[in-house]
Structure 1
Amino acid sequence: MGNFLGKAIASILSIVTVAVFLVGCENSSEKTGTLMDFVPQGASLVFKISNFETVRGDIESNALLSKFGESSPYLLISKSTFLQNLRPKNESVLSINKIDDSTSFYTFISKQHPQLFVTDSLKDKTIETLTVDDFSFQRVTLAKETVYTTTVDSIFIASSSQKILQEILKGNTEKDETFGKVYNLPNAGQLTALLRENNVSLPDSAKVNFTSWSALNLQLSPESLTATGITLATDTIPQLLNIFKDQIPQPNGVADLAPANARGALSFTFNDAEKFQKELRIFRGENENAGTTGIFGSVSEAGKIDLGNSISFFVKSIDPSLTTDVLARYLTLENSFREVEISAFSEPDLFKRTFAPLLDGANANYIFQLENFFVFTENVSDAETIISAFQNNSTLKNTTAFEENAPVLSNASSLLILKMKGDFGKDISLFLNEKSETLKNASFDGIPLAAIQFSYDRNFAHVTFTCKETSGGAVKVGGSISEKFNTKLENALLGAPQLFGNGTNVVTQDISNVLYFISESGKILWKKKLENAILGKIQEIDIYGNGNKQLAFATKNNFYIIDRNGNDVTGFPIKFRDNVTQPLSVFDYDNNHNYRFVITQGKQVLMYDKGGKTVKGFGFEKAKSAIVQPPKHIRMGNKDYILIAEENGKLNILSRVGKTRVSVSKDFDFSEIPVAEEDSYFVVITKDNTKIRIDQNGKISTQKLDVGGSYWFAMEGNTKATLDDNLLRIDGKLAELPIGLYSKPQLFTVDRNVYVTITETQENKVYVFDESAKIVDGFPIYGTSTATLAEGGPRKSIAIAVKGESDTVIYYLMN
């Protein structure tokens, strides 16, 4: 967004920085008198300051201005010994005349009074009276600095250029009519800046004549710089601002679309696309009677997004179906990403032909639609980047930087330019002084967003500029959620991916029964072909107790334990003749890694130790009917219970050695909801949604639940989550979800906090809630399966693994 925003920011900063050298002034009078009459001709920057002391303090503590070094000519002039010895009582005017890229002069103008410039106590001074062309003035030298001063009609004038002072005395002052209009606008603050903006560089184009003069009122705080005011263009020469004449500013939607990690964006709006295109042609000097493209007839906004190494264009439609119909003949379907179709576009230079110089420099090779946005990219990779950010809510609108700056900005504007990631230092340096290495190398990382906005209104435009410092320069993206990788497998996934090893790895299996082990950077570290599909979830264990984790799971015919390098642990796999009918159960009674692994085959239960040997002394070998849930271990107080649910309705509650510990007199019609512990009771949810509570003595109580057929019940420690259609309750607290089809809620403990994940399977949205049933900031994100959470990476990040496309694993990090 390059030089255009750089010019605008630079102009504002230039005015502010110049003010530093005005020291020790008092409150101004309400009237400026004839100060304007002595502004030198050709001034590029002119400002009025009412309270120099306050302004100087604000400037010195401002985060953005503190980035500039003393080699900047505008800050170097702040060391002026002469100006530091001025004591104006009234409002003063300071103008800057830029002679060339490395030379500029200032002129100070204020009402004369006896204490304005007192020389009696000054040391190392020389004061001479000169007479040139019948004009008399003084040459003042202080500490090797020379300034030329005079008083005309009670107006004190001082200039660092003798030539400029002489021209003022000859009456060669700024008499531009537009300048007079902006100068005489009411002041709305202590610092009012007037900017001459004849030539402005837009991104990827030559300089264009944008506007004539702007008047801005600046507000400074230690963390922010904002400016509001107006800008005026003239009708006598073509100026770009006039293309918005008679256009009603429309809402800017670019922040909803631009990825949070983009470098910048530009958005312009219109309510009459045909007239807007004609005005652009007139500005470019083309035939104004030429036809306009009908593609943009249903469009209210267009713009570009700078992704760093490439540019993407976009339009926002007020009638997406109409826009789709108009575009159809230019499209050829290429592929899809996350269920979004990506098509080749046969008019790659359309945006450059239509909207130059606002848009230029890139080809629109591909197109896709996101709600009412139609996005045009140079390559498929950029398309996938924008789609991912949009579906993950990782867009500019969801950043802390945008939230903090948004209150200053209008929802609707004619032109909005955004620079992100502190990417505007070079532009400022080029405007102030092309040779200023200090500015070129200045770091603006702590200022993640700068925005400038123009809203056309009759024959002028409102202007707003804003930037704020963010602590550490970090941009908080949707609750600090970021997509770390998006890895495509050889085949479609079989079930949902899982996190492994404190969330630093992902394990998953595809439909050809290949097991994948993926690093936190998205690299496939190893693959292992299995005979059959894994039953249930992969269990994470540490059989050696040294922190090196292993994967344990069962398939239809095998029990595997595999180390993190993909090697079978000694003694495994164990192969079975008869089919395994339930997922592997893992018991660690005393949390000492002395694992017991339980394999279920129909009615039979087999128990193994971590060496793959059958555990002797476990008395329960066979049930009377098929076992319908994986055997489960529950510890209440200092007692261990093993629960085995049978098809005939019997619930076996056993001791460690497989003997009956609690006798249950009633049979149950078990549902898929696992038997759980709640408040020191065993809980069974039956198929008819009856809740059975069994105490440790076998006493039973029942409660008929008033819920729907999709009801689910899950426990993690003392936290309970239930789902009834779209009503999610966490420990009784309600979170009402949008109407949809949802996966079963899953609970995860991460850093002693419990989180609940759930996925809407039609719109592919993954939600995460905390224990208070509040959705975690940044969700929902994109995902097509249930999501796994675990501690992941440094600084207590939370890792999230979920399926994307049918053959894709997505890994997110949430700080």
Structure 2
Amino acid sequence: MRVFCFSLLLILVFNCSNNKTSRSELIDFTPKNTSIILKTSNLEGLKSSINNSEFLQEISKTDSYKNLENTLSSLSYLKPTSDILICFSKDLKDSLQYSIITKHNQQLFETDSLPDYIEETLSYKNKTITKSTLNNNTFYSTIIDSIFFASSSKDIVDAIFSNTKIDIELEKIYNITSNDKTFSVILKPDNTFLESFFIEDSLSFKTFTNYIAVDVSINQDEVLFNGITKAIDSSKSLINIFKNTTPQENQTHNITPSNSDGFMSFTFNDYKTLETNLVQFNSKDSITNTTMLFNDIVEVGVIYQGKNSAIALNSLDVIATKDALLSEQNHIDFYRGVSIFSFSRPFLFTKTFAPLVSFNKANKYCILDNFFVFANSTDMLQNIIANYQNKTTLNEKVYFQDVKNHLSDASSLIQVINPSSLKAILNKNLKGNLNYKLNNYNVSALQFIYETNFAHVNGIIKKNKTRALLNSVSEELNIKLDTDILTNPQFVKNHITKQKEIVVQDINNNLYLISNRGKILWKKQIKSAVLGPIEQIDIYKNGRLQLVFATSNGVYVIDRNGKDVAPFPIKFNSEITQPLAVFNYDKNKNYRLLVTQGRNILMYDVKAQVVNGFTFKSANNTIICQPKHFRIGSKDYITFKTQNKLYILDRTGKTRITPKTSSSYSNQSIFLYKNNFTTTTSDGNLITIDTKGHASIKNLSLSEKHHLETSSKTLVLLNENKLSIKNKTIELDYGDYSTPRLFYINDKIYVAITDKQAHKIHLYDSQTKLLPNFPVYGNSPIILDNIDKDRNLEFVSKGENNSIILYQIN
């Protein structure tokens, strides 16, 4: 149903009116001769995805990439609030130029703090163009109808004032691209960067199609492509040879040896239709040497092995295809019960299927079930036979099945390649002959599925992951930010997918939301450091969650798109001294936000209004821990403490319990343990207070450097290097340990601590037993949870100063 709806959308788009005359969309401002258009709605996410993609980091070693990166260096200073287009085009001197198009906003390009920035205003013929020089790169810009347009060429900026002719076909293609992927790209055949994406040298982009538009998702271990291609002139573009044919299920992978370099396969439901289309494309009157061999064929596959190739014909009627080969049954060899015959017309495949097939030396063949396999090497045929019989073909490999899950079963044209073929294609396009380190990218695939007058495009470049052993701990992501990390990374819930994402802040006070695949969803600068953990609330009571937190001078509520939720943020003149406390008393989403300022507490509602019914104003001294809310029975309790007083209040801020003891308290939080309010004192005791105010003090001889964490029934203490869980104590190596984190997941208790000095994360069960394969590398307290749809638990930690590591417990 989804494919049907998408196809219907495409048909409607491609058949819409061509009468548009005014420029209103970004695409309307693209310069003439533009051959590549990149679109992104998240420039920061794009830069981060490139930096964290192992595949693209290999590409970044090429001169082409370095030159492009240097040319576009000024992009890093732009702060667009909506889509941005990056266009590449040729000028009148055939030199490559870039242009940038986006909606103008006041913060788009702030130059006041830029070093070595020079600006000059050029005014003439009712035009105003700004000439900017930054880091020895010069570009020109202007603003037309609230659109910011910049280019490396003054001539291109000059021409954009009068270039009002709109490419309707390009706009239709553009309107199909998505906004929720890392970026989208529209390619024309005359682009400078892409010569061909096929192994076959006979297949060039220039003759393949007119436009390719794909949405690209970049993850750490894979790059995914989804989009369409469209050729306007049906007789001059190769993709249109599949017009009036129906894609069939590709099966060449069933006979492709896993040790091959890959294969290309094309399918059709009617050979005669394909034949007619090929004749027209190749400008021939007819195909010479007509044969009955292909009449019952629905798929032609080319298997690559070094300098050799094999051609596989997938037959619907094996008997009829055998009959067509009656004159070609000169038996020359016998291997594993399979006869090998000579073939007298090795040029037949090239003459029939050029330029899809360029191999013209197939002088031998064998039959494997419904496949007729032709090659020029007995060794290659024997390799195909052996792998087919041994079930060691590509189809049997887990890494191929992983890739296949991203593709359609039926396609008009598909190419599947191994690392060496991927390197060859990269070198063909990037002109460098570099030795890319891509050995773990076992399978990459590209497919085209023809439909009506366009074709769907799917592609994937995926790193193979070794299947994790039971109880192993595998590093899933290592996400690098532009600068060092300030806060401990934590998980937050995505209310759309019901999965978890990562939120973290860097030392420049940029807050990031990162998907569980490593994609930076947004980056937002706030005034100062976030205090404590970030909470989530449903401010509109509609199931959509927002992030809520305090800094030293404000309270923020931010939606999942990184936008402030009005009337927040609210600013404070006096310093906020504790993390924001969020209370949801009756689970009815009437949230209360408690702001601590020294000895004072203010309570706000989600309209940023002070809750007048909360009467508590000031403690006897500075509050030394985050206020907490507990419910015991039908009663609510708000707790916090100063150095010498523990407060237990009701909802209105009035004293509900007065502890019948006085103590000097540590800075540890207050917990509800076995229905008693529990914390520690500065002289090393554990103190519990019941609902009547009676206190129980237990001398644990805790040092000043101790940490307490509890759940309702489990108490955890870390005292120097001694860890206690439920009265069981183990001695750790001496180190600088973080506060223990207690997690209760799937009826199991986990306790995590991190030795920040040794950079080791330890994870224990409730019996103080270290889990298998721990400790692992890390530099902060962890958050443990199930963040996706599988059953495995994941945890997140700081890695190096500027990186986040996501682990999975298998």
TM-score (norm 2): 0.51
Matched, 1:209 2:207: yes
Distance in 1 separating the partners of 2:92 and 2:373: 42
Give 1:471 shift. 4.2
- Please, which runs of 5 or more residues in structure 1 have no aligned partner? 1-31, 475-815
Q: Is the 8 A contact 2:289 2:348 kept in 1?
A: no
Helix, strand or coil: the match of 2:87? strand
Distance in 2 separating the partners of 1:257 and 1:66: 34
Distance in 2 separating the partners of 1:337 and 1:456: 39
1:165 counterpart residue number: 157
Give 1:103 shift. 5.6
Aligned partner (choices 36, 48, 60) of residue 57 of structure 1: 48
Number of corresponding residues: 438
Distance in 1 separating the partners of 2:260 and 2:90: 34
Aligned partner (choices 32, 46, 49) of residue 41 of structure 1: 32
Aligned partner (choices 417, 431, 440) of residue 419 of structure 1: 417
Code of the aligned partner of 2:202: S
RMSD: 2.6
Q: Is the 8 A contact 1:413 1:453 kept in 2?
A: yes
Distance in 1 separating the partners of 2:180 and 2:92: 31
Code of the aligned partner of 1:47: L
Distance in 2 separating the partners of 1:102 and 1:239: 24
In structure 2, the CA distance between the partners of 1:81 and 1:246, relative to structure 1 (3 Å rule), is: closer
1:409 counterpart residue number: 407
In structure 2, the CA distance between the partners of 1:364 and 1:236, relative to structure 1 (3 Å rule), is: closer
Deviations 1:154-203 (A, max 9, x none): 10011122232223233177x44431210122525232221213674751
Deviations 1:293-348 (A, max 9, x none): 32111110002111112011110001111111111112311121000000001111
Q: Is the 8 A contact 1:331 1:346 kept in 2?
A: no
Aligned partner (choices 55, 60, 72) of residue 69 of structure 1: 60
2:571 counterpart residue number: none
Give 1:68 shift. 2.1
Give 1:281 shift. 1.1
1:448 counterpart residue number: 442
2:170 counterpart residue number: 179
Q: Is the 8 A contact 1:422 1:449 kept in 2?
A: no
1:467 counterpart residue number: 461
Distance in 1 separating the partners of 2:35 and 2:386: 45
Aligned partner (choices 267, 274, 277) of residue 276 of structure 1: 274
Matched, 1:307 2:305: yes
In structure 2, the CA distance between the partners of 1:460 and 1:441, relative to structure 1 (3 Å rule), is: same
In structure 2, the CA distance between the partners of 1:421 and 1:125, relative to structure 1 (3 Å rule), is: closer
Distance in 1 separating the partners of 2:61 and 2:131: 26
Distance in 2 separating the partners of 1:471 and 1:334: 43
Code of the aligned partner of 1:445: N
**Which stretch shifts more, 45-54 or 65-74?**
65-74
In structure 2, the CA distance between the partners of 1:376 and 1:291, relative to structure 1 (3 Å rule), is: closer
Q: Is the 8 A contact 2:279 2:287 kept in 1?
A: no
Distance in 2 separating the partners of 1:328 and 1:99: 60
Matched, 1:189 2:183: no
Q: Counterparts of 1:351-362 in structure 2 under 5 Å?
A: 351-362=349-360
Deviations 1:575-601 (A, max 9, x none): xxxxxxxxxxxxxxxxxxxxxxxxxxx
Give 1:44 shift. 1.9
Give 1:98 shift. 5.5
**Which stretch shifts more, 289-298 or 375-384?**
289-298
Distance in 1 separating the partners of 2:55 and 2:315: 37
Deviations 1:468-510 (A, max 9, x none): 1124899xxxxxxxxxxxxxxxxxxxxxxxxxxxxxxxxxxxx
Distance in 2 separating the partners of 1:310 and 1:101: 42
Distance in 1 separating the partners of 2:101 and 2:219: 27
Distance in 2 separating the partners of 1:112 and 1:51: 15
In structure 2, the CA distance between the partners of 1:358 and 1:370, relative to structure 1 (3 Å rule), is: same
Code of the aligned partner of 2:389: Q
1:510 counterpart residue number: none
Code of the aligned partner of 1:442: Y
Give 1:47 shift. 2.2
Give 1:132 shift. 5.9
Code of the aligned partner of 2:172: K
**Which stretch shifts more, 190-199 or 214-223?**
190-199
Q: Is the 8 A contact 2:177 2:227 kept in 1?
A: no
1:797 counterpart residue number: none
Helix, strand or coil: the match of 1:187? coil
2:229 counterpart residue number: 231
Code of the aligned partner of 1:323: T
Distance in 1 separating the partners of 2:92 and 2:420: 27
Q: Counterparts of 1:277-296 in structure 2 under 5 Å?
A: 277-288=275-286, 292-296=290-294
Q: Is the 8 A contact 1:447 1:473 kept in 2?
A: no
Give 1:61 shift. 1.0
Matched, 1:94 2:81: no
In structure 2, the CA distance between the partners of 1:288 and 1:55, relative to structure 1 (3 Å rule), is: same
Give 1:423 shift. 2.3
Distance in 2 separating the partners of 1:228 and 1:55: 17
Code of the aligned partner of 1:46: I
- Radius of gyration: which is bigger? 1
Code of the aligned partner of 1:182: I
Give 1:130 shift. 2.2
Distance in 1 separating the partners of 2:313 and 2:211: 30
Distance in 2 separating the partners of 1:253 and 1:375: 13
Give 1:431 shift. 2.0
Q: Is the 8 A contact 1:112 1:155 kept in 2?
A: yes
In structure 2, the CA distance between the partners of 1:76 and 1:200, relative to structure 1 (3 Å rule), is: closer
Distance in 1 separating the partners of 2:82 and 2:197: 37
Give 1:233 shift. 0.9
1:252 counterpart residue number: 250
Helix, strand or coil: the match of 2:293? helix
Give 1:102 shift. 11
Deviations 1:533-580 (A, max 9, x none): xxxxxxxxxxxxxxxxxxxxxxxxxxxxxxxxxxxxxxxxxxxxxxxx
Q: Counterparts of 1:583-594 in structure 2 under 5 Å?
A: none
Q: Counterparts of 1:735-750 in structure 2 under 5 Å?
A: none
Distance in 2 separating the partners of 1:171 and 1:117: 25
Aligned partner (choices 314, 317, 322) of residue 316 of structure 1: 314
Q: Counterparts of 1:790-801 in structure 2 under 5 Å?
A: none
- Using the aligned pairs only, state the percent identity: 32
Helix, strand or coil: the match of 2:150? strand
In structure 2, the CA distance between the partners of 1:48 and 1:287, relative to structure 1 (3 Å rule), is: same
Code of the aligned partner of 2:76: Q
Distance in 1 separating the partners of 2:427 and 2:126: 41
Code of the aligned partner of 1:41: K
Distance in 2 separating the partners of 1:61 and 1:169: 39
Code of the aligned partner of 1:368: C
In structure 2, the CA distance between the partners of 1:431 and 1:348, relative to structure 1 (3 Å rule), is: same
Distance in 2 separating the partners of 1:350 and 1:415: 20
Matched, 1:104 2:96: yes
Distance in 2 separating the partners of 1:204 and 1:288: 24
TM-score (norm 1): 0.51
1:571 counterpart residue number: none
1:141 counterpart residue number: 133
In structure 2, the CA distance between the partners of 1:367 and 1:101, relative to structure 1 (3 Å rule), is: farther
In structure 2, the CA distance between the partners of 1:312 and 1:290, relative to structure 1 (3 Å rule), is: closer
Deviations 1:21-48 (A, max 9, x none): xxxxxxxxxxx94211111122221122
Distance in 1 separating the partners of 2:41 and 2:49: 13
